[in-house]
Chains A and B, each alone.
Chain A
Amino acid sequence: MLAKVVLPRWLMSGAYQWEYHYLKLEELANVYMGQLVSQFSMTDYPLSFHGLCSAVGQCGNQVGCRFWDLALREHSHVNKKGIYDEALSSFFRNVDSRRSVGGSCDITGGRIQSLKARAVLVDMEEGVVNEILQGPLRELFDSTQLITDVSGSGNNWAVGHWTYGSAYREQIVDQLRRAAEHCDCLQCFFLIHSMGGGTGSGLGTCVLKLLEEEFPEVCRIVTSVYPSAEDDVVTSPYNSVLAMRELTEHADCVLPVENQSLVDIVNKIKHMSHSGKPGSVIKKDSAIISGQGGVSGAEKPFDAMNNIVANLLLNITSSARFEGSLNMDLNEIAMNLVPFPRLHYLVPSLTPLYTLADVNIPTRRLDQMFTDAFSKDHQLIRADPKHSLYLACALMVRGNVQVSDLRRNIERLKPMLPFVSWNQEGWKTGLCSVPPVGHSHSLLALANNTCVKSTFMELRDRFTKLYRKKAHMHHYLHVDGMEQGCFTEAISSLSSLIEEYSQLDATKDRPMPDAARLNIAT
């Protein structure tokens, strides 16, 4: 029997909004006895995972914006009492906003007063950041967390990396240090940027280098959005290849996302929700592309695509934020998925991408989710990992899934997936009990797979077309700090990366004998 009840939903401004909920009677009793304790209000527990986000450039900040919005939605869904708990503390500080900005101090535990994102936002153009500051997320950021300029980078990697890189170096390092000081235990940096432009690509990779210099022991995970072939920025191949070299040298893990894949996924979802197949209705408000239920208002053009990337970040950090029977934190991801230091490009795939309202047999639907994770349509780059070689694969499962479900599906899928000979059982798994909003379970797969090679080869081709004719190069070369050598080094780094993947590919269908064991004198 269900009772209709009005309960408060806290907003980050500290105010409460009253909402209708349908509760079972037992839950009702708990609420009125003040005991509806969320599993995660562990206020006595020492804070554990803290992640610091840096969004650079227009794309990076737009994705970042969706990430904060959806993160708040996710936490408010499980955290009904408005207690600042360990899960929230992973990405948000709780401050007493009555004090001045400079002296605002962190409050651990207790009621949520004012949340601040653990972030540093950087953009050399004001448009996107100003929008954030005028929107409902403005309260999440102190003015000190924002580093902006007016003129932008003109889609020029050199301007982003060298000109702004040196001009803003001190300020960026300062802000990063401040943000890091507010973290009890800084476990990981997330950098979000695009590869094709000037700021995200150039200044973003400069920030990456700074992170390595200042905090060499903290894991650096980069989400990079790669341009599609029809990108309207002519110089995007130059920018991307120049940035690639920095990613290969200075990042611990890169999650590459291709714009074209996001476009394809969004189109497919829109097509399905309009096709009106009998007996199937897409629950739009729980679709992974929908930002509904979040704090921001109406959706903007790139929002659907950006939501997908934001969900990627939510899922990768879920086990570090919420509890589960098999925890998987970010250091473990970097450890298990990167067998050789430069081969750290992890192809992400997310399921489900939409929810059907009609009820299927639960187990079959769960298994379908695993199958989908390996299908071409669910990858966030345009590649088919099933037909290339897996070096390692991580599965992060959220929701009510047990270790036996996980093992059953791995057994089932293993025969269809080619793994490198020395890592035949190269699976890293995690179970987090809390599913994303609107779903009963979800799966994020991160594959270290040689299929990234094709993305890189295409990039190299586009680069070569321009480079052969020296098109637009003067714009780069007359920037202080930039030389011809930068180009040759970058393309050579990319080529040798491709070569490393090729060599591994060559072992694919060759049966490898076991290495001869050591002989012990008896």
Chain B
Amino acid sequence: MISQLFVLSQRGDNIVFRDYRGEVQKGTAEIFFRKVKFWKEDGQEEAPPVFNVNGVNYFHVKIVGLLFVATTRVNVSPSLVLELLQRIARVIKDYLGVLNEDSIRKNFVLVYELLDEVMDFGYVQTTTTEVLKSFVFNEPIVVDAAHLSPLGPAGLFMQGTKRMPGTAVTKSVVANEPGGRKREEIFVDIIEKISITFSSSGYILTSEIDGTIQMKSYLTGNPEIRLALNDDLSIGRDYRGSFGSGAVVLDDCNFHESVRLDNFDVDRTLSLVPPDGEFPVMNYRMTQEFKPPFRINALIEEAGAPKAEVILKVHAEFPSSITANTISVQMPLPKYTMRASFELEPGAVGQTTDFKQANRRLEWNLKKIVGGSEHTLRARLTFSQESHGNITKESGPVSMTFTIPMYNASKLQVKYLQIAKKSGTYNPYRWVRYVTLSNSYVARM
């Protein structure tokens, strides 16, 4: 059971503070914040999500720069509390449309109302937006989302292609739109995070895709939905029966509790009655080989002591109809590097470079990369001393972050999205969107 729950801003201010059981002393928010801020004197290590100070256990999750914190004296299940904190953040987001410090401050009475219904005396009562609707009466004060940094992967769609309605992810589940009528629509997002490690010779050492099918429903009356995935989808790594070209083999997956799998084994369809708000329908994990979206080539060579040259090449392996955006390539350099001068390819647009003196790191940012293209960066390094070791060993690995809308490496697809019809004219908007993100994309030197 949970004793207190509070939300702190980045500066450590209390935005919301709820004490459910009164068994933990006052001042926990200060104790917590000091502990997190000064976890290790050198600032090198961050505080773990769970720690104990004087018999009080503190749990926290970081969401859009806010700290959601729970305290208890009891030896509870850590995954339950951390999961709960995430869920509370999600419920608040469902209500407010946008989750950030400003929106919580403006709606803190509503947030209190939610917290009162989510938990009683430290025991969870409900976390479904659906159920909460009937208990919660404050109307959200909608915060303008235009100038705010979007939350989470789904927010990325805002900068994506114009086909998608930008308001979707920041729309409150309960607030009525200006027209008074709610637009009937449902969003299904397939979000994949890629982890790859390339060896120094370009081989793939490890690769994994962690995916989520996320749904956000604005349908009234909660109609049943059927979601069909690839026919050739198989689950379980040992299952090699249908392993052939194009088959999608997931190592494992799990499902939201509303999902029924009655037909899943037969035709790979999921049926569910989606609750209001945002939730993951299915999480999956895949280690089957797949084509990496980018190849990275990195080279560092001595060029007359005490100097060296770095050549970085990035090649986009995906089709030219697709464009990746917000790409950043980083490479740690030998610690005796003094200066770096950069040379971009002729005619380069939307590219910036930087040498971070403090941690001896080269940064190369590209606004976008069109499929099939290749980009090169040359850098000349000046060292403070003659290098007497192997400079390749003292630099790297190169890491890369990116976002690729409308692309997924696993080839998992939502074939169709069927909504149980209430009437002949009922035809809500359905949006199925894909996005691939980098998780840990690393090339060794």
Task: Decide if A and B are genuine partners.
Answer: no
